[in-house]
Structure formats: structure tokens, C-alpha cells
Amino acid sequence: MANGDGGPAQALAMSILVRMADVYGATELMDISQAHIDSTIYLGDATLEFAERLASLGARVAVPTSLNVSGVDECGWKDWAVKADWAAKAARQMLAYERMGAVPTWTCAPYQTHMRPVFGQQIAWGESNAISFANSVIGARTERYPDLLDICCAITGRVPAVGLHLTENRGGQICLRLTGVPEALQQDDQFFAVLGHLVGQLADESIPVIDGIVVSPTEDQLKAFAAAAASSGRVALFHMVGVTPEAPTLDAAFLGRPPERTVAITTADLRAARRELTTADGRELDMVILGSPHFSLAEFSLLAPLVAGRRADPRVKFLITSSRLMKEHARETGVLAPIEAFGAQITLDTCILASPMLPPEIKTLMTNSAKYAYYAPSLLNTRVTFGSLADCVRSAIEGRVVRDESLWQIA
Amino acid sequence: MADRVVAGRVIVAGTAEGEALVTDAALSFWGGYDFHTGEIIDKHHPLAGVRAAQRILAVPFSKGSSTTTAVLLEAVRAGTAPAAIITTGPDTFFALASIVADVMYGKSFPVISLEPADFASLRTGEHLSIEASGAIRRT
């Protein structure tokens, strides 16, 4: 294929892939059966020129391919501070990837769509949270693919046969053991996001195995964990003993090999990690922001009874970032109506980090997303309070930051 | 002082010279690097507020977002990228940005991997020249 048998776009994609195979130290390529493209995020002329170069050469994806968030809410951007020039270019970049035959899912949670891969499936995924979720929670197999390479894999249907695609490389390397962390804290709504933030820092380049979980996390809690660990660190695969599919036992998580090191995680460590996620002083609140990764139907369903019959303080914006599919499911199941009546706005296709949508007067945010809490201070120059979903709702109603600290203050 | 030479492993070949900017903390370029200015902006990072454009950035590895590559490609196009990147392993994100910049704009930057002990010997502010062989000359 590298010689152009599949057309000029495939030749270009293959030439990049072959050079990267050398960097990966791969001696051969292997087939994949699915891809997820993070290159959709418009940043500027270079990302657009890359997408349009491929599209103009006639690129077509060779495997079923989903698309990550873009740089603009195609239908709703005019409600926000997005400039028309940005919206036009971001939309052109969206069109370029649609022209390649990818499915316009426009979400950073493709694992919660019909494009969800299955255990053992060989895939090429971009988007750090999605990579971590697919590998760890589903047991599908992807390397940590960067933007621009994900689409080359999708066009060729091939990846370097290395890393997390191969069983022998999927074993845990370090053991992170919860020590004296009470069940009540593990059941707290914020626990898995905070743990993920801490694990990302502790894991470095290693595959972490988390031992000592005594609760049964929901899929959205594991999503929050995966996103947090892939933001504060570079975790592309984790194992959680008794929770994730490749970790029925500690021994299985390590593929029978001994851990390189074991680190205890205490309640004090978790408290410190939670404190790091808050950079605001708690006095003012301009916006509650939910949905990084994109809000799921289950999350809409959790939120609805919390807000039913209430109204957010008009001084506080309440924004949820999600996908077209999830919003439609929420509408069909009746949980969207009370959320909209509460005063919530919903942005689709993108998020506040990927689209320059927030007006400058929004300086302080509150969120239950560790990923938003990690990136917003640097990317948006905002300050953030991290709290539970219930804290976020109560704060929006009262128009000021309110957090239930009871579980996090126990000695 | 006589030149000292460190043998690096070529991840993406090229030559560069400039002032070293050294950190032992991993970096995500998305949310961590402003390609309009060439400045490191990750407030969690020890180099927050420091300009890395045209310097030789020594950072052990990338972390965080998949979009690191795209930010670095934008920086190459805008002329605000580091002159070279030195790591402690074959970081695929940095390598890809250089390779795609070569394909798109004919402008790549060297990516060189060092043994941890050699990496740890680098100092911010020293002048480095990177040779096509991966040798790093310190003056």
C-alpha cells in the first residue's frame, strides 16, 4: 500500500505510519477493525490543512471510524463567544473528516455510543480519556495514539504491532494499594475522579494496578477515573483488581509477574489530591460546567431528580457538554426537560476546552470533572472549584460555592 | 572548557543548536503550550510562563492529551516550536509532530533520546548543538 496502490491519500497515510513504525520499534504492522479520531479538534491552520490535504487526496477510512469532539458546536456556537472565522474553519475541519467516511459521532466518549468496541478488539484510538477507557474498562486494545496518526491508522486499517496491542505488554507494572481508605469514602461521588488524578501522577510511564477497591464503580465513575489519570499523567491502561476485565485477581493483573514497586494510597493522599483540583478561593461562581468526558444518558438521569422543580441562580451559568446522541436519548427518556427547566444549557460536538466559547467575564468555574479542573486553569485562565454533582447543583441554586465536606474531613 | 559530547539515540534525525531548557516533569502540549507565543502555559508545570520557542527543550516524555502532536505541528508552522526535543525514551507524540511537519511543511525538528543519567546532566541555559548522528555537543 505504501507505493500508492490504494491512491495518494493512502500512500501519504502509509508513509507516515511506516516512519512511525520505526519510532515504535515495530518490525511489522497489524490489522485493526475500528478507529476513533482525535485529529478533529481544530486548533489553527495546521490541523485544518492536514485534514483538507487528506480529504482532497480522496482519503477514505478503511475501518468503522468514530469522530472525537471538534472545535465548534456546529448548531449552537452563536450563543457563545465563538468568532465566526473560528466557527467556519472548525466546521471545514469537521467536513473534511466526514468526507473521509467517518461517522460524525462528535464525542470524546465514543465508548458510550453504538461504536463501542468489544473485549480483545484491536483498535486505533486517539483522545486520552477514550484510550484509557477502551483499554482498561472494556479490554479493547489500542496504543496511546496521538492526533494525526489516528487518522493514518484509520485510512490504512493498520497499526504498528507493538505496545498495548500485544498481550505480553498489557500486564501491570506498579501496584497502587488503597490503605485504610474507608468504604464510605470510596462510595462518594467524587472518589474515582480524585483517585484518577492521583494515580496519573503516581504512575509515570507505568501501567498501574489499583488494589483495594471495595465498591462497585459505575461506568461513569470509571470514565471519570480514566479521564483524570490521562490528564494528570499519561495512563493509557490501568487495571483495577476485581473491577476491570483483565484484573479478576491481583496476580492476573500483573500477568503473574511481580510488581516493580508497591505504593500505598491513604486517605490523606486522596484529600491532598482533591485539594489540588480546586484553584478558586470559593468566593465567586460564574459557571457550573459538567461533561468532560461528555455527559452520558446515565449522568443526565442522575442529574434530573437533583434539579427537578428548582431553578439555578440567574447569575450562575449551568452548562453541560455532551453529544448529539446523548442529548437525544435524554430527551426521549424525559430526563432532559427538568434539566432545561432548571436553566441548564447544553453544548454539543465540543467542549469548553476545545472551543473558544466562554466569554471573558467567566472567570470562576465549578465542576465535578477532574479533567476540566486540570485543564481549565491553564487553557482558559479560569479558576476552578472541584465538587460532587450534588455540590455543583446546590451551588448553582444558591449562587455561591457550597460543598459538602463531611466525608473528606474525617481524620 | 572543552566541548563535551553526549551520545543520543536518534528518534527523528536532524540538526539544531540553541540554549537548553531542561525539566524533569512530563508535559502535555495541549493545555501546556501556547503555539501563538511558544510559551509553556501549564500552571501545574515547573516551567509555566517560560518561552521554549527556538530553544532545545529537554523533557522526559509527553503526558496528557493526544492533541499534544497537533499543538506542536501548529507551533512548527507558526515558527514557535522548540528547535529540538530531548527525551528519556522514544516519545511517539513528539516524533510524530516532527514527521508530519516534515511531510506538510518540509520543516522537521530533531527528537533525540538520552539515557537517564545523561539527561539528568543537562542544565538549563547551556548551549547545545545536536548533530545528525544524535550526538549532542555541549559548549
Report yes or no: A227 and A213 within 8 Å, Cβ to Cβ.
no
Q: Give the residue ranges of chain A where pLDDT is below 50.
A: 1-4, 411
Question: B104 to chain A: which residues are within 8 Å by CB?
Answer: 46, 49-50, 53
Is residue B65 part of the annotated active site? The answer reads yes
Mean pLDDT of B114-126: 96
User: Measured between CB atoms, which of A148, A234, A375 is closest to B73?
Assistant: A148
Position A5 scores a pLDDT of 65
Which distant-in-sequence residues (6+ apart) come within 8 Å of B2 by Cβ?
A: none
How many inter-chain contacts (A to B, CB under 8 Å) are there? Answer: 120
Domain boundaries, chain B: 4-138
Position A2 scores a pLDDT of 47
Indicate the CATH number for domain B4-138: 3.50.30.10
| Res. B3: pLDDT tops 90 | no
Q: How far is CA B101 from CA B12, B94, B109, in A?
A: 12, 11, 8
B112, β-bridge pairs: B10, B86
Which distant-in-sequence residues (6+ apart) come within 8 Å of A312 by Cβ?
A: A288, A318, A342, A343, A344, A396, A397
Q: Which residue has the cell 474498562?
A: A137
CATH match of A287-401 with 3.30.499.10 = yes
Please name the amino acid found at residue A114: H
Position A411 scores a pLDDT of 46
Across the beta sheet with A35-37, what order do the strands follow?
Answer: A65-67, A35-37, A124-125
Instruction: Give the active site residue among B28, B62, B65, B129.
Output: B65
Residues A197 and A199: their CA atoms lie apart, in Å, by 6
Position A283 scores a pLDDT of 83
DSSP-derived secondary structure for A290-355: EEEEEE-HHHHHHHHHHHTT----TTSEEEEEE-HHHHHHHHHTT-HHHHHHHT-EEEESS-TTTS
How many Å lie between the alpha carbon of B107 and the closest alpha carbon of chain A?
A: 13
Q: What is the phi/psi pair of residue A342, to 5°?
A: -65, -25
Q: Which fold has domain A8-166?
A: Aconitase; domain 3 (3.30.499)
How many Å lie between the alpha carbon of A378 and the closest alpha carbon of chain B?
A: 5
Position A410 scores a pLDDT of 57
Domain A8-166 shares a fold with domain A287-401: yes
User: Measured between CB atoms, which of B67, B77, B99 is closest to A147?
Assistant: B67
Would you call A378 an interface residue with chain B, using a CB distance cutoff of 8 Å? yes
* Contact at CB, A234 and B26, closer than 8 angstroms: yes
Mean pLDDT of B20-47: 96
* Contact at CB, B90 and A378, closer than 8 angstroms: no
Question: B89 to chain A: which residues are within 8 Å by CB?
Answer: 205
Q: Which residue out of B66, B85, B107 would a mutagenesis test of the A interface target, given it has the greatest number of A Cβ atoms within 10 Å?
A: B66
Mean pLDDT of B5-18: 97
Residues B4 and B135: their CA atoms lie apart, in Å, by 10
What digits encode the pLDDT tens for the residues A249-287?
999 999 999 999 999 999 999 999 999 999 999 889 999
How many Å lie between the alpha carbon of A265 and the closest alpha carbon of chain B?
A: 21
Question: A377 to chain B: which residues are within 8 Å by CB?
Answer: 43
User: Measured between CB atoms, which of B48, B67, B90 is closest to A38?
Assistant: B67
